[in-house]
Chains A and B, each alone.
Chain A
């Protein structure tokens, strides 16, 4: 696709239910990131993937959060037993592999996000 696609765009769920958020990165982008943004707040790093592996999972808030990526493409962020404090916009971003030369790094291309509301 032309850009990063996230689904659903909006999700309302009851406290205690599980949710799955999906991200389709730009074709050819090997790096994939998940961030969380609460209302009026900055970007909270959750996890990033290089290919199918996740070198850095330290941003996941609790063991209720997990993510996977298959085929070096689509990623799913799963939140189990949702809590009200999980309500936020979940943003996915992808980028090309960092170039070896110099200190250039490919920019992140963000999707439109999934707005999660836990009632």
Chain B
């Protein structure tokens, strides 16, 4: 079954609007990673969050890791057409390298 839930599945925004995707796990995650997949491409690593309550920024992108390390969010301020793609969260559970659980992804469409 789905180990990491991600919502929404689709998001359509006008260029300049903000966008947020949410990731939630029923169990504590060791860390969380975010990936972006452009149409026709493969997932590319964006960032990793490790600490409880951690917040990281990459230009217009803000990533948060929840206090309980069970949820995470990605927020894009003032979207641009270059932001188009599918954003995936992914987390490891436990203390050993193993299966990386991916969310189903949020497909972002940006209208010019």
Contacts and interface: CB of A to CB of B under 8 A. Distances in A.
Contacts of B42: 91, 110-113
Interface string A38-81: 00111101001010000110010000000000000000000000
A21 interface: no
B23 to A, nearest CB: 12
A44 to B, nearest CB: 8
Contacts of A42: 6, 88, 102-105
B33 A105 contact: yes
Interface in B82-112: 88, 90, 92, 95-105, 107
B48 interface: yes
Contact of A107 (B33, B98, B99, B105): B33
B30 A105 contact: yes
B44 interface: yes
B45 A107 contact: yes
Contact of B48 (A31, A104, A113): A104
Contacts of A59: 99
Contacts of B45: 107-109
Given A41-B104, A42-B104, A108-B43, A103 B50 contact: yes
A110 B44 contact: yes
A98 interface: yes
Contact of A55 (B6, B98, B101): B98
Interface of B: 6, 30-31, 33, 35, 41-45, 48, 50, 88, 90, 92, 95-105, 107
20 contacts: A42-B6, A42-B88, A42-B102, A42-B103, A43-B88, A43-B102, A45-B101, A50-B97, A102-B50, A103-B31, A103-B50, A104-B50, A105-B48, A105-B97, A107-B33, A107-B45, A108-B43, A108-B100, A110-B42, A110-B44
Interface of A: 31, 33, 35, 40-43, 45, 48, 50, 55-56, 59, 91, 93, 97-98, 102-105, 107-113
